[in-house]
Chains A and B, each alone.
Chain A
C-alpha cells in the first residue's frame, strides 16, 4: 500500500502524556475495588531445599490479617505441569508458585499474607516463621560453567548458529589474530513501576485482572490454563505500563498468586512487589563469550569463532540468540559459533531489552574494534571493508540494510574524520579523550495482529487492539496510523489498548508492535472506509453529489469529512452526518494483518534486521580511571519512522540502559545463598543524569517495502545494540587499555 504521509512521520507528542502526568492513567496497583485485600509475599531465604514447618501464629495474630496462603492450603490448580507453560516458550519445567514445599531458588514465594490493610499484611509477613531443610545448591556461575549444555528442545525463537567455511583452519592460517574472553554481569530490568496485580472479583464472580504485563492475552491464557478457569471468567487489563523492558513478557508470580488468592478468598486482592522483590524474578543472564577473529593485514576478516554461554535456572532452559550476530552482519568466508546454557539454582533468567543481541552484539563489537587495531585500520573503515550486504550466516538477501549510510552519516555528525588512530592522543587537562564506535543489529519482526476500527455516532473513530503501550508511545503511533489511514484529525480518534478482550495482538516485545499493530490498524481503517462508502451507496436518499461521487470513486475522506474531489463545486459532509445517513448508530470492522498481506512472501526468502551505528566520546581521568561519557551519536536505520519524537526517545532510553550496561549495572550474586545482594536502587546503579550526555539520534532514510506492510522495522531495542561497545571502544581509544568485562567500574 502506498502511504502518503501527513500524520505518519510527524513528531507528535504522546497522546497519553496528559493522562500520565496528571495521574489519571491507572496502573496495575491502582484500582481500589471495595473490600480489597492486600497481599504481601514471604520469600525463601534459601536457594534449595524443602519447607519443613510454617509457623503462622504470630502473623495471624496481627489485627486485620484474613488469610495466609501457602502450598498447604492453596486452592486447586491445574494438574499438569504443561498447563503452566506461558507464551514465551521457554522449554523445561515451568515454575509453579506455591505448588509444593520444594524450594528451587532464593526469593521463591513461600507464603502470601492477606490482610485488610497493606500495613497489616506487611507486618504479618515479617512475623512469619518458616523452617527449611537445606539442600546443597550452586549459584556460582564459574562452577556452573562446568555443567554447560545444549537444551534438547531449544526455545522456539532460537536461531541456531550456522557455520561456513573452515573457521578453525582459517584462523590458524590468519596472519593477524585476536582472541578475547568477554564477560557480562547479570542485570535486572527494574522498570520504574514494580510488578503488581489487582484482581477485582466482579459481582458475577468473574475476575478482572489488572496486571503489569506486556501481554494481557498471554496472561489471560496463562491464568485460565494454570488455574483451570474458563476463558470468559478472566479478563486481563494493562492500559498503562510503567516500563517493563521484557520483565513483563512472562506472567510473573504476583499475577498467579493474586488470582489464586481471589479464587480462594472470593474477594478482590492486590499483590505488589517491593523493589527488593523485583530482584527475585527475571533478569538478564550473566554471559561469557570467547571470540577469536583472524584477518589478513589488509583488514579482511578471514575467520570468526564465537563461543558463548548464558545462565538459566535448574528447571527451565532460557536461551538467547547470543553468538550469531557477527556471523550475520560481517562478510567473512569462514565462521563458526557455539552456544550453551549453564544451570544455576536461581530463578530463570529471561529476556531483557534486545535479549541476546544486547550482550552478543556489544561484546562482539568490542572484539571487532580490537581486530581493527590489530590490522592498524580505522574501526569505521574496517567495518566498511568487511561489510555484508546479505545475511551472511544464512546466505540470504535482506529486505534492506542501510547500515553503510548509518555509519557514514553518524560519522559525519560525530566528526569521526578528525579522530587520531593512536589511543591516548587527545586530552583536556587531566582527562584523556577517546572516541569509539560500534554497529548495532536487531531483528525486525512482524507478528500477525488484529485491530478493530469503529465509527460512532459522534463522528469519532475508535481503534482497539490488545497491544500494550509499555511506555514506548504505542497509543500515539497507532493514532497517527489511524489518522492517516482514515484521514481524520488526531483529536477525533480514541485508542483502546491493554485489554485481553480486544482483538488479538501478540505480547509487546521484540520491537514488533509498531510494525504489526500498525499494519492491523491501517488495514482496519481502510476496511472501515470501504464499509462506510458501501453502506452509504446503498442508501437511495443521499444527495446527488454523494451518489455520483461514490459511483465514480471521487469521494474521499479528508480531515474527518467526506468530500467530493470532482466537479466544479466542492461538496462535503461530516462523518457524523454520513454515519446517520447509513441508518446505523455505528460502523465497525475488524481486520488481521498478516505477513503475506501484500502478496509478498519476502518473510521467507529474505532476512530482516534493523541496524545502527553508534559513536561515543568518553573522558577518562588519567590517574583515577573515572570515565565520563560526554557525547553519544546514534544513527539508526529502522525502515520507516512513524514518529521521530517517540522513536528517538526509545533509542535514547535504550542508550541510557546501554550506558548502564557498559559502566554501572550489575546484580551482585552471593553464590553462598543464591541471592542478588544489591537488591535496591541505592546499590543497583542505573545511570544518573550526571552520567548521561546529550544524545544525538538520527534516523537514516531506509525505504523497505517488504519488511512489514507499512515498511516499519521497530526501534525499541536497537539502541541497546552497539552503544555499550562504543563506550568500551572509546575507553580503549582514550587509555590504550582494553576491558573484557562489563560493566567497567572504578578501580577496574
Chain B
C-alpha cells in the first residue's frame, strides 16, 4: 500500500469535485485488499460513508430503490427484499462470508474488480491492471477465467453474485457526477473487455453509483440462484445461474436469466430468455436454452470444466425455478 490522502465528504458534489487519481471507498473489502496488493494505487481516497445513500426505499411507481451504501447483509435481510426479491437475497447470501457481507456495500459490489490471479499480482503482465502489458491469464492458470465475452486482451471473469441476480431482474443503476444524474439499464452497466479491459463498466471518472432500482416484478416461488464453486461456501462461482420465471399455470410467460462465473460481465442472452416464453417447461427446452446461453463460448487451457458444467447447471436451475423449489443457501444439497 502506498501513501494516500483521505477525505470523507458529506455532499455528493464534494466527492466528485475532489476526484483526481482518486478512488472511492465504501466497505473497503475489495479496494483495501487491492491497495495492499499494490494493484490499486490511488493518491487520494474519498470515503463515501457519510453520504446519504444508505436507505432502502419504495419508489412511487412501485420500484424498490437500494441505496449504494446499504450493506449487502442489510439488503439481503431487508423485509421488502426478502418478500419481493428473494432471488436477490439468495444471490447475495451465496456470496462471500457473513463478515464480508456486513462490510460490503451495494455500490461496491457493482464495482468490485475481477479475481483473476494475474490481475491481483503486480509482478505479472495484465492488460486490465496495466494497459498494454499483455494478458498472462491466457495460456496460464485460468480455471477461474471466463468463457463468454472474452477478448484477445482479457479473459477475466466478473466475480459478483449479487450482480447476476440484478442482471436477471433487469435492474437500473442510477449515477451522479459533475455532468449530472443519469440512469442505465443494469445489463448495460458492465462492459465487455474488448480492447479496453481496464474499463470494467460505463462509470465516468468521478461518477458515483447512488442507487440500484429494482422493477416491480414477481416470480412467486419460480426463481433460483444456483451457484457451483470449488468448496461449498466462501468461494467465487465456477458457474452460477440466476433465474426468475413468471409462470401462469404451466406456461412460462416471461423468463429472466443471467449467468455468473462464466462471463466477463453478468451474462444475459435475450434470445435465450425469449426461447422459454410461452412454453411449458421441459428438459429439452432447457437444453436448448442452455445451448443458446452458452453460444460462442471459448475455453482456454484450464477452464474447459466450466463449459462442461455450465449446461447442466443451467438446466438444473431452470428446473428448480420451474418446479418452484429454489436453491437454499443454507442447506448445501442441490434441490
Contacts and interface: CB of A to CB of B under 8 A. Distances in A.
Tell me whether A and B are bound partners: yes
Contact of B37 (A276, A431, A628, A677): A276
Interface in A536-551: none
A668 interface: yes
B332 A628 contact: yes
Contact of A677 (B118, B236, B313, B316): B118
B233 A690 contact: yes
A100 interface: no
Contacts of A431: 333-334
| Most chain A CB atoms below 10 A, which of B140, B228, B231, B335 | B231
Nearest to A44: B123
Given A624-B312, A672-B139, A678-B117, A122 B1 contact: yes
B230 A682 contact: no
Given A624-B313, A670-B141, A685 B333 contact: no
A747 B140 contact: no
B2 interface: yes
A626 interface: yes
Given A672-B139, A688-B234, A689-B233, A623 B312 contact: yes
Interface string A646-688: 0000000000000000011000111011010111101101011
B234 A626 contact: no
A668 B38 CA distance: 21
A265 to B, nearest CB: 23
Contacts of B235: 682, 685, 688
B124 interface: yes
Contacts of A690: 231-234, 332
Contact of A673 (B38, B124, B234, B332): B124
Contacts of B11: none
Contacts of A688: 231-235
A624 B231 contact: no
B121 A679 contact: yes
Nearest to A126: B38
A672 B122 CA distance: 16
Interface residues of A, number: 42
Given A126-B38, A621-B333, A746-B309, A685 B230 contact: yes
B140 A624 contact: no
B249 interface: no
A123 interface: yes
A544 B316 CA distance: 87
Contacts of B231: 663-664, 685, 687-688, 690-691
A669 B301 CA distance: 13
A683 B144 contact: yes
A623 B3 CA distance: 51
B294 to A, nearest CB: 14
A53 B313 CA distance: 52
Interface residues of B, number: 41
A519 to B, nearest CB: 41
A670 B305 contact: no
B141 A677 contact: yes
Interface string A141-185: 000000000000000000000000000000000000000000000
A677 B143 CA distance: 11
Given A126-B38, A678-B117, A687-B231, A429 B124 contact: no
A119 interface: yes
A680 B121 CA distance: 10
B238 A746 contact: yes
A180 to B, nearest CB: 22
A746 B230 contact: yes
Interface string B299-331: 000000110110011011000000000000000
A286 B37 CA distance: 27
B117 A626 contact: no
Contact of B334 (A624, A675, A682, A683): A624
Nearest to A677: B117
Interface in A597-636: 619, 621, 623-626, 628
A623 B283 CA distance: 13
Chain A contact surface mostly: loop
A287 to B, nearest CB: 19
B287 interface: no
Interface string A683-707: 1010111110000000000000000
A663 B231 CA distance: 8
A103 to B, nearest CB: 13
Contact of A670 (B2, B115, B140, B234): B140
A287 B122 CA distance: 30
A677 B232 contact: no
Contacts of A122: 1
Contacts of A748: 305
B254 interface: no
B31 to A, nearest CB: 15
Interface string A106-126: 000000000000010011001
Contacts of B38: 126
A45 B123 contact: yes
A394 interface: no
A99 interface: no
Nearest to A429: B333
A20 interface: no
B143 A668 contact: yes
| Most chain A CB atoms below 10 A, which of B38, B232, B305 | B232
B120 interface: yes
A745 interface: yes
A430 interface: yes
A8 B333 CA distance: 42
A122 B37 CA distance: 10
A628 B232 CA distance: 8
A624 B143 contact: no
Nearest to A274: B36
A277 to B, nearest CB: 12
B229 interface: yes
B290 to A, nearest CB: 12
17 contacts: A123-B3, A276-B121, A619-B333, A623-B312, A623-B315, A624-B313, A628-B333, A668-B117, A669-B141, A670-B140, A670-B141, A672-B136, A677-B140, A680-B120, A688-B231, A688-B233, A747-B305
Interface of A: 43, 45, 119, 122-123, 126-127, 276, 429-431, 619, 621, 623-626, 628, 663-664, 668-670, 672-673, 675, 677-680, 682-683, 685, 687-691, 745-748
5 shortest A-B CB distances, which residue pairs? A747-B305, A45-B123, A690-B233, A690-B232, A677-B117
Given A430-B333, A664-B230, A679-B117, 19 more contacts: A45-B124, A119-B3, A122-B1, A276-B37, A624-B309, A624-B312, A624-B316, A675-B121, A678-B141, A680-B120, A683-B115, A685-B230, A685-B231, A687-B231, A688-B233, A691-B231, A691-B232, A746-B238, A748-B305
